[in-house]
Structure 1
């Protein structure tokens, strides 16, 4: 079975859930550096061969856990207008991703990602959230809301808000705060115009 399985059912789902829980618990108790496949297997109640068969190695398992932890728990808040909703989403995104846990999950997700599928999944999470923000704003604004042909769309927000945030988190983390997120959103809204 591949770690890329979307949502396995039955025994496979139970194994995944118990192994993921074991990784999270052990990392909290002993630190990520102390994790080993046999230790995780013992805590999860499975054999090490089950983990090797499913994930291949410890890094791939940590990557799988990280991608799952980076999945948003809730839909973005609808604050009634695009600027407010997108700003609130960007502030929360930056706060979660720039936190020590968020940074560790990002690193783990990327380290065990030889084919780019984890990065793609994490990007899809952000794009889905942005899509919801834009859809809510369009509902409030009617036909006048921006999308496509020079107007605001998901890819523009990914390029001008998410990408700079992720770059700064990974390579230049100093100065990351809510004001930075607000400046990025204000910039993307000003460039797209009404």
Structure 2
């Protein structure tokens, strides 16, 4: 089951989502992830378990959605040129996604049947890169598009964090970035 896309973004629905996300955050600070259950989260949020099941389908999808919302990044640093902006962004992204919470979030998103969570993750990354690209273009610099950067740099990073024996090194990520920039 996927997260329902047609749910209103304001009003009661937004308040319910906010309270459920807050319940997840609070419970994760109090106990291990493996101890969480939909009824426990529902009780903390003041909703019925059916509200969570109707919206998210299962616990994994809820945890993925809450993690994506929690890990929404700040605006990328402006270093004054495209190469340095992207190198800085790659360093931060590698550090955050390779952290314990970052790996947990990615595992939740991958395990979730909610394609909307994956779409949110992709859109967050694309938006971050587009900010950097727009700055570079305003300075007169040429840049690959966001999807090229995702395919050439972000995708290999995420794949290795999730499936390799160890995360890629920062030096390797800089090599991939330099190759993409030409």
What's the TM-score, normalizing by structure 2? 0.89
Query: Residues 95 and 178 of structure 1 are in contact (CA less than 8 Å); yes or no, is this contact kept in structure 2?
Result: no
The range that moved more, 180-189 or 5-14, is 5-14
Distance 1:98 1:30, change over 3 A: same
Shift of 1:81: 0.4
Distance 1:98 1:175, change over 3 A: closer
Written as runs of structure 1 = structure 2, the 5 A alignment for 1:41-56 is 41-56=42-57
Structure 1 unpaired stretches of 5+: none
Number of matched residues? 181
CA deviations on 1:17-70 (whole Å, 9 max, x unpaired) are 111111121122111100011111111122222222222222221122123234
CA deviations on 1:121-150 (whole Å, 9 max, x unpaired) are 21111111111111111112x2xx224xxx
Rg comparison, structure with higher value:
1
Give the Cα–Cα distance (whole angstroms) in 2 for the partners of residues 6 and 167 of structure 1.
31
Give the Cα–Cα distance (whole angstroms) in 1 for the partners of residues 110 and 130 of structure 2.
24
Aligned to 1:159: 151
Aligned to 2:125: 126
Residue 102 in 1 paired to residue 98 in 2? Answer: no
Aligned to 2:82: 82
Give the Cα–Cα distance (whole angstroms) in 2 for the partners of residues 161 and 90 of structure 1.
8
CA deviations on 1:153-189 (whole Å, 9 max, x unpaired) are 2121111111111111111152534333322222222
Distance 1:161 1:79, change over 3 A: same
Give the Cα–Cα distance (whole angstroms) in 2 for the partners of residues 47 and 14 of structure 1.
14
Structure 2 unpaired stretches of 5+: none
Question: Which 4+ residue blocks in structure 1 deviate beyond 6 angstroms?
Answer: none
Distance 1:37 1:166, change over 3 A: same
Query: Residues 70 and 122 of structure 1 are in contact (CA less than 8 Å); yes or no, is this contact kept in structure 2?
Result: no
Match of 2:142 among 143, 146, 169: 146
Aligned to 2:181: 189
Distance 1:6 1:139, change over 3 A: farther
